Structure 1
Amino acid sequence: MKLIKLDAIDSTNDFLKSLSSQEDVENFTVVTAENQTKGKGQVGGVWKSEVGKNLIMSILVKDFIFKNEDVFNLSLLTSLSVAEVLKSLNIPDIGIKWPNDILSYNKKLVGILIENTIKSDGRIVSVVGIGVNVNQTDFSELPTASSISVISGKTFDKEKLAVLIVEKLKEKIQLWKTSSESFWTDYFNFLFKKGVPTAFRDKNNQDFMGIIQGVSPIGKLQVLLEDDSVAEFEIKEVKMLY
């Protein structure tokens, strides 16, 4: 894989998007940074990371998504790839919190932000941003977060971890056409709080109880409500309280 290593950047996603708009960038090109000053999270959130301790990376993915209805497929494969790599490193109790956060013991280890650009010829080019808390140990300002080092008691090589994640993602993308059903099954098996009564908050700040049933093909969270109906929510419409 082609690897571009930066000391500091505002956003690896923005850097890779800009680069791919100016030149023909090789598929699965990876950008990493030791420090990211304007890291982005889901729904306008901010990704905070201690300098030099964590894996901050963006991956260019081309020729996989061909229509808007398929964008969640890349989110599914990315979260599944990261979850499986961490499990292979003996990180326990791994779960995927919809749509694609990776947790261990209810603590967030990984954030994923995928940004898609439609080119003038109609092609969809994706930049997959992944932030993994690797060797950071101080989470006093982030009580719901942890790192694979804290969880395991070991330190890890960030670049080796990046290679493992990219290779796993490439493998799954290549197998998608023949194995999509099994990948959905694997994703559901990792899904955090599936089948368990859980508190949620909707976009109107109203709290309610529900049970996660699954995720729709376009990525909406399916929740069984107290009146026995099943509602579907987009990411901006509901927040899980845990």
Structure 2
Amino acid sequence: MRIIKLDAIDSTNSFLKEMIYTEAIADYTIVVAKHQTNGRGQMGTTWDSDKGKNLMFSMFKDLSIHVVEFPFYISMAVSLAILKTLKALNIPQVRIKWPNDILSADKKICGILIENVIKNKLNSTIIGVGINVNQTAFSNLPQASSLKNITGVHYDLDEILHRIVKHIKSYSKLLQDGKYEAVKSEYEANLFRKNKPSTFKNAEGDLFSGFIIGVTKYGKLQVLLEDEIIKKFDLKEITLMY
């Protein structure tokens, strides 16, 4: 496993993406940065982080050797790998907020950005992860927290990275072996606010109530509405309100 450590970079995902087109990259190549000047999150959001305090890395995963018919399973597998790592560190009430934010109680501690590389078919993927580890102040981010804020412990970033990689490899093996339903069931079992009355906002800004009951293999959120109607929502169509 090759690990490239950088002092500062605009985005580890962007750095790794450029590498793909200039050289042959081994499976599980990782780029880690102490500081990102333009860290990216879901749907164009940014990821701000104090230098050297958090774990920010991107991993190259070769998918050319097996078919991944439904790419959202990659997102589920990575979310579960991080979840398992954090549970082993005794982080309390860890859940996955659809599609792949990781929360402790109702505070966000991790974001994931997965960018697939298509060459006639799904050829590889870049898995970007940002975990708030030892940072303790988050200005204007009331829903953000960190491992240190939650437990009072100062963590070794390299140790957390290696634990996550170990679990990503384990879940990747499950997918390669066709154990899709096992991954999906575990993901759904750890969804934030599953089977609880929740408030959502649609693309027009209107609020409505419902119950999260699961996800589809395409990654859409399944919500039970009034009159026992189950509706499927894409990421751009719905926001789960805290």
Normalised TM-score (structure 1): 0.96
Stretch deviating more after TM superposition (127-136 or 158-167): 158-167
Unaligned runs of 5+ in 2: none
Equivalent pairs counted in the alignment come to 240
Aligned pairs for 1:188-207 within 5 A: 188-207=188-207
Q: What's the secondary structure of 2:200's corresponding residue? A: strand
Q: What's the secondary structure of 2:112's corresponding residue? A: strand
Are 1:240 and 2:229 matched, yes or no?
A: no
**Percent identical across equivalent pairs?**
45
For residue 178 of structure 1, report the CA deviation from its aligned partner: 4.7
1:63: which partner in 2? 63
2:158: which partner in 1? 159
Q: What's the secondary structure of 1:22's corresponding residue? A: coil
Q: For the Cα contact (< 8 Å) 2:109–2:131, is it kept in 1?
A: yes
Output one character per residue of 1:46-88: Cα deviation in whole Å (capped at 9) or x when no partner: 1111111000000001126735x51101000000000000001
Q: Give me the whole-angstrom Cα distance separating, in 1, the residues matched to 2:23 and 2:150.
A: 41
Query: Aligned AA for 2:204?
Result: N
Aligned pairs for 1:32-181 within 5 A: 32-63=32-63, 66=67, 69-119=69-119, 121-176=120-175, 177-181=177-181
Normalised TM-score (structure 2): 0.96
Q: Give me the whole-angstrom Cα distance separating, in 1, the residues matched to 2:181 and 2:216.
A: 13
* TM superposition outliers: structure 1 runs of 4+ over 6 Å: none
Query: Aligned AA for 1:53?
Result: K
Q: For the Cα contact (< 8 Å) 2:174–2:183, is it kept in 1?
A: no
What is the Cα-based RMSD across aligned positions, in Å? 1.3
Query: Aligned AA for 2:193?
Result: K
Are 1:18 and 2:21 matched, yes or no?
A: no
Stretch deviating more after TM superposition (127-136 or 69-78): 69-78
Q: Give me the whole-angstrom Cα distance separating, in 1, the residues matched to 2:43 and 2:216.
A: 19
For residue 140 of structure 1, report the CA deviation from its aligned partner: 3.3
Query: Aligned AA for 1:47?
Result: W
Query: Aligned AA for 1:199?
Result: T
For residue 213 of structure 1, report the CA deviation from its aligned partner: 0.8
